[in-house]
Amino acid sequence: MSKIAAIVPAYNEEKAIASVVNNINALAQSLKIDITVVVVNDCSRDSTPLIVGKLNCVLLDLPVNLGIGGAVQTGFKYAFQNGFDYAIQIDGDGQHPASEIPILLNAMLENNHDIVIGSRFISKEGFQSSAVRRLGINYFKWLNRFLVGEIINDSTSGFRIINKKTLKIVSEIYPDEYPEPEAIILYSLNKLKIGEVSVKMIERQGGVSSIGATSSIYYMFKVSLAIIYTFIRIKFKK
Amino acid sequence: MFRIQAIAIVTSILFLLYIVRLIIKGKLREEYSIVWIICTVVLILFSFWRSGLDVVSNLVGVYSPPNMVFIAAIFAIFIYLLHLSVVISKLQSQNKQLAQHIALLKEQMGK
């Protein structure tokens, strides 16, 4: 039976984190799949680590705040070092319902993908995010298609599953600040097969997005630069 | 010798001594002090050799020697700031790796 790590990055998620962890554990139990929940506490200032410490899961406690990319990578490192076969990334704010995990897992097993991204936009069900955010997502879709010819509808989705081969890569190199769109470039330049399936997402139950309204222009600019640099770096190294 | 020349020489030498003191006390690493020492030596050189500025300006085709000073100084500052950004980026990446390592070790110890 394959070992699966559910990596949950959490920064000030005291309201939602317990139910996120418990839902995943309940799902694992009812479907009889081997899921270990790995919560990465990104130096929260609230009681997140205290709550997580009492739950049935692994807690990785970062001593300084690294941001989402660094936090998720800590989970990837843990999964890789402990011989997990798959790692699922699930946000700590409850946006990604545990009930959608089997959809990701099945898509991975059936199509032999290296990465499967859970997308909000394929069947357009559930929470669809704000108009501005969708505009940004369309822009990244265009940028990715332009650079690597990969069409990803929801490149900012943090609901993903990756296999062992991908784990090895991301435990060494993983983008820092806003990693999701950038990681897609990293994956496709490493010749990994990326799949996308439709999942339902719900509006966040607590916490705030890592991308505020004022910082979205910075976000677009920074991620564009990072994507282009990643592209140049990997493309010309080979 | 002009008064301004004396002031320039004394200031430059004091600055050089201060850099040396920082290195001796371990507050400044040698590799970051190189650029400062070179700058100070250049300053001292031109403090003594007053016509040197005109010579160099003529050589590169700058009409007014003071402009030459500003261009050179601003260029040097830009390069050094860039160097500092590189150093900070390296520190940040090392800091991230350390933090991740600590988190993983803490988890192992808690078992």
DSSP string, A200-237: -----SSS--SS-STTHHHHHHHHHHHHHHHHHHHHHH
| pLDDT above 90 (res A25) | yes
| pLDDT above 70 (res A40) | yes
| pLDDT above 90 (res A170) | yes
What percent of chain A has a predicted confidence (pLDDT) above 90? 48
How many domains does one find in chain A? Answer: 1
| Per-residue pLDDT band at A205 (split at 50, 70, 90) | low
> What is the value of pTM for the model shown?
0.83
CA A175 to chain centre: 12
Gyration radius of chain A over CA positions = 17
The pLDDT assigned to B4 comes to 83
Query: Touching check for A48 and chain B: CB below 8 Å?
Result: no
Residues in chain A: 238
| pLDDT above 90 (res B61) | no
Report DSSP letters for B6-59, one per residue. HHHHHHHHHHHHHHHHHHHTTSS-HHHHHHHHHHHHHHHHHHH-TTHHHHHHHH
| pLDDT above 60 (res A183) | yes
The pLDDT assigned to A46 comes to 92
- C-beta atoms of B103 and A63 within 8 A: yes
Give the mean pLDDT of chain A: 87
- Give the pair of three-digit tokens for residue A170: 């991301």
Of residues A174 and A177, more confidence is placed in A174
- A128: helix, coil or strand? coil
| pLDDT above 60 (res B93) | yes
- A7: helix, coil or strand? strand
For residues B71-78, average pLDDT:
89
**Residue partners of A159: CB distance under 8 A and separation at least 6:** A89, A90, A91, A95, A96, A100, A104, A117, A118, A199, A201
> Which helix (H) or strand (E) element contains residue A160?
strand A160-163
The pLDDT assigned to A128 comes to 67
Residue among A60, A171, A176 with most chain B CBs within 10 A, to mutate: A60
CA–CA separation, A184 and A145 (whole Å):
11
Q: A209-234, pLDDT tens digit by residue?
A: 656 667 777 878 888 888 888 888 87
The pLDDT assigned to A66 comes to 93
- Give the pair of three-digit tokens for residue A187: 């994956």
Supply the DSSP symbol for A38: E
Give CA separation, B81 vs B7, B39, B68, B73, B85, in Å. 27, 14, 20, 12, 6
| pLDDT above 60 (res A206) | no
What is the CATH classification number for the domain harbouring A207?
3.90.550.10
CA–CA separation, B75 and B13 (whole Å):
22
- C-beta atoms of A64 and B103 within 8 A: no
Chain B residues with CB-CB distance to A74 below 8 A: 99-100, 103-104
- Give the pair of three-digit tokens for residue A203: 């509006």
Q: A95-154, pLDDT tens digit by residue?
A: 898 999 999 999 998 988 999 999 887 766 666 667 777 777 888 888 888 887 778 888
Chain A residues with CB-CB distance to B107 below 8 A: 58-61, 78
Chain B residues with CB-CB distance to A59 below 8 A: 107, 110
Of residues A127 and A23, more confidence is placed in A23
Return the C-alpha torsion angle A226, A192, A188, A85, nearest 10: -30
Beta pairing class for A4-10 and A58-61 = unpaired
Distance from CA of A15 to the nearest CA of B (A): 23
The pLDDT assigned to A125 comes to 64
State the residue range of the domain holding A56: 4-237
CA–CA separation, A10 and A52 (whole Å):
10
The pLDDT assigned to A30 comes to 92
For residues A15-21, average pLDDT:
91
Of residues B49 and A77, more confidence is placed in A77
